[in-house]
């Protein structure tokens, strides 16, 4: 997992690009093997199992079709302490993957004394330690700290010290690594078709804070290139118009709200890549992005000394279709996948928890680690 791939390769010359690309592909293969199986599996499963959205796995009968395990080994029980952000949805059904059976998911807190695992979403409990499970903890029960926000948006982390056994975040060094998106390797290379582009730069922003680096950067950038801004207080962007609207743009400003290693969010995966536009990223350094993406899949603001030079570059690419299309070449072999539902994270947790033996472990200084 930690195999690193040469840093600063974006600056390297064209000849080394190809070699770099292959290295990248093998890294991607390693990094996303499990995710891929999860994705592919869930897709097949949903197709084969028409009852997949039925919300009662505790009473669930063995399922038919390709997803039903031949025999039912004991399942682990996972108590979801809350629905993230209080948005409820049907309980996940994960099926069997790599020989690991599905888990029994519940939100019923009277299962706490019997639960093997409790997944606790930081956002829903940080206001007070009183919001955490109370009562004696069964000796082998594991608590999982789930948080996909950056430290900048995660309050009262010290409440969480010495309580949890596993971490589940967007960071690579989490016990259960839960990125916002990843690349799937296509089975066969395909011909890349760039969707028709009639507009230049888009940005969707709902949380406008003047002090953030991204806001300041935008304020200068907009003096040199026109940016269409969507979101709260700007042009409306209905959910169902998301792809149709954003895919018309050549570039998308995937600007993170705070800068932290691995903190690369749906702004890149969903807004830019899934909408088939070229991301202009502001976030962790280029080398960090290159762990997730080929170097020519994105433009980094740090590649330019000033916002004006970035704007000039975007104008140049706008006039040069051949150069512009280079930012789509990677799509002949890779496909971006953005996380759209929490189920994928829960299912990953289900399989990951079964794949590692219950060893006693406590995350002592969570607040020191997560910064
Ligand atoms: C929660 O589980 C308990 C024990 O199995 C059961 O008695 C109770 O009816 C359940 N509550 C809900 C809301 O399903
Ligand atoms: C989980 O962490 C708690 C709190 O530190 C600890 O008491 C417990 O033994 C740990 N359990 C496991 C299974 O590691």
Residue 59 lies in a domain: no
Residue 123 has pLDDT above 70, yes or no: yes
Query: Mean of the pLDDT values across residues 70-98?
Result: 81
On whether both 315 and 226 belong to a single domain, the answer is yes
On whether both 251 and 205 belong to a single domain, the answer is yes
Residue 12 lies in a domain: no
- Candidate ranges 72-76, 93-97, 204-208; pick with highest mean pLDDT: 204-208
SS3 sequence of the chain? CCCCCCCCHHHCCHHHHHHHHHHHHHHHHHHHHHHHHHHHHHHHHHHHCCCCCCCCHHHCCCCCCCCCCCCCCCCCEEEECCCHHHCCCCCCCCCCECCECCCEEECCHHHHHHCCEEEEEHHHCCCCHHHCCCCCCCCCCEEEEEECCCHHHCCCHHHHCCCECEEEECCCCCCEECCCEEEEECCCCCCCCCCCCCEEEEEECCCCCCCCHHHHHHHHHCCCCCEEEECCCCECCCHHHHHHHHCCEEEEEEECCCCCCCCCCHHHHHHHHCCCCEEEEECCCHHHHCCCCCHHHCEEHHHCCCHHHHHHHHHHHHHCHHHHHHHHHHHHCEEEEECCCCHHHHHHHHHHHHHCCCCCCCECCHHHHCC
Tokens in use for 131? Answer: 């919001």
Nearest CA to ligand 2 atom 12: 360
Residue 288 has pLDDT above 60, yes or no: yes
Residue 57 has pLDDT above 50, yes or no: no
Query: Mean of the pLDDT values across residues 140-147?
Result: 95
Looking at residue 196, which CATH number applies to its domain?
3.40.50.11660
On whether both 322 and 223 belong to a single domain, the answer is yes
On whether both 201 and 319 belong to a single domain, the answer is yes
Q: How many domains does the chain have?
A: 2
Determine the pLDDT at residue 70.
43
Determine the pLDDT at residue 51.
34
Instruction: Give residues (CB < 6 A) around ligand 1.
Output: 108, 110
On whether both 190 and 285 belong to a single domain, the answer is yes
On whether both 334 and 228 belong to a single domain, the answer is yes
Residue 288 lies in a domain: yes
Q: What is the share, in percent, of the chain residues with pLDDT greater than 70?
A: 80
Q: Which ligand is nearest to the CA of 107?
A: 1
Q: Which of 75, 149, 256, 290 is catalytic?
A: 149
Residue 131 lies in a domain: yes
Determine the pLDDT at residue 56.
29
Span 12-23, pLDDT tens digits: 445 555 555 555
On whether both 120 and 208 belong to a single domain, the answer is no
Residue 178 has pLDDT above 90, yes or no: yes
On whether both 231 and 360 belong to a single domain, the answer is no
Residue among 76, 129, 143, 362 whose CB has most ligand 2 atoms within 8 A, to mutate = 362
Nearest CA to ligand 1 atom 3: 110
Query: Mean of the pLDDT values across residues 69-95?
Result: 80
Q: Alpha-carbon distance 169 to 177, whole Å?
A: 6
On whether both 207 and 321 belong to a single domain, the answer is yes
Residue 316 lies in a domain: yes
On whether both 358 and 250 belong to a single domain, the answer is no
Residue 72 has pLDDT above 60, yes or no: no
2 in active site: no
Tell me which of 21-25, 67-71, 99-103 is least confident. 67-71
Residue 143 lies in a domain: yes
Phi and psi of 81, rounded to 5°? -65, -35
Cα→Cα distances 21→6, 33, 297, Å: 11, 18, 11
Q: Domain range for residue 168?
A: 77-179+342-369
Ligand 1 center–CA 60 separation, angstroms: 15
Determine the pLDDT at residue 274.
96
Residue 84 lies in a domain: yes
Residue 8 has pLDDT above 70, yes or no: no
Residue 1 has pLDDT above 50, yes or no: no
On whether both 286 and 201 belong to a single domain, the answer is yes
Ligand 2 center–CA 142 separation, angstroms: 7
Residue 36 lies in a domain: no
Sign of the torsion angle spanned by Cα atoms 112, 113, 118, 121: positive
On whether both 253 and 153 belong to a single domain, the answer is no
Span 293-313, pLDDT tens digits: 999 999 999 999 999 999 999
Determine the pLDDT at residue 16.
52
Q: Is 144 in the pocket of ligand 2 (CB under 6 A)?
A: no
Residue 117 has pLDDT above 70, yes or no: yes
Sign of the torsion angle spanned by Cα atoms 356, 42, 270, 331: positive
């Amino acid at each position: 997992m930690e195999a690193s791939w040469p840093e600063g390769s974006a600056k390297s010359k064209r000849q080394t690009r190809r070699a770099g690309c292959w290295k990248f592909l093998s890294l991607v293969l390693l990094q996303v093997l499990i995710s891929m199986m999860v994705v592919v599996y869930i897709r097949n499963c949903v197709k084969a199992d028409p009852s997949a959205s039925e919300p009662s796995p505790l009473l669930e009968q063995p399922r038919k079709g390709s997803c039903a395990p031949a025999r039912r080994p004991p399942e682990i029980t996972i108590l979801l302490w809350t629905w993230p952000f209080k948005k409820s949805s049907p309980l996940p059904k994960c099926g069997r993957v790599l020989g690991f059976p599905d888990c029994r998911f519940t939100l019923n807190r009277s299962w706490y004394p019997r639960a093997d695992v409790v997944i606790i979403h930081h956002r829903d409990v940080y206001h007070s330690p009183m919001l955490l499970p109370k009562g004696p903890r069964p000796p082998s029960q594991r608590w999982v700290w789930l948080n996909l926000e950056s430290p900048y948006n995660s309050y009262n982390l010290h409440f969480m010290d010495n309580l949890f056994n596993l971490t589940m975040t967007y960071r690579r060094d989490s016990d259960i690594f839960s990125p916002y998106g990843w690349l799937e390797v296509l089975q066969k290379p395909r011909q890349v078709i760039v969707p028709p582009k009639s507009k230049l730069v888009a940005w969707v922003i709902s949380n406008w804070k003047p002090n953030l680096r991204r806001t300041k950067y935008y304020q200068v950038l907009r003096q040199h290139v026109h940016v269409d801004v969507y979101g709260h207080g700007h042009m409306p962007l209905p959910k169902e118009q998301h792809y149709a609207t954003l895919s018309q743009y050549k570039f998308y400003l995937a600007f993170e709200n705070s800068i932290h290693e691995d903190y690369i969010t749906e702004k890149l995966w969903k807004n830019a890549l899934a909408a088939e536009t070229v991301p202009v990223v502001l976030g962790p350094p280029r080398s960090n992005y290159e762990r997730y993406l080929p170097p020519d899949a994105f433009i980094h603001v740090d590649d330019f000394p000033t916002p004006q030079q970035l704007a000039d570059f975007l104008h140049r690419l706008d006039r040069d279709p051949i150069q512009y299309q280079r930012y789509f070449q990677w799509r002949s072999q890779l496909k971006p996948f953005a996380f759209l539902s929490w189920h994928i994270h829960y299912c990953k947790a289900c399989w990951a928890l079964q794949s590692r033996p219950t060893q006693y472990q406590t995350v002592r200084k969570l607040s020191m680690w997560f910064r």
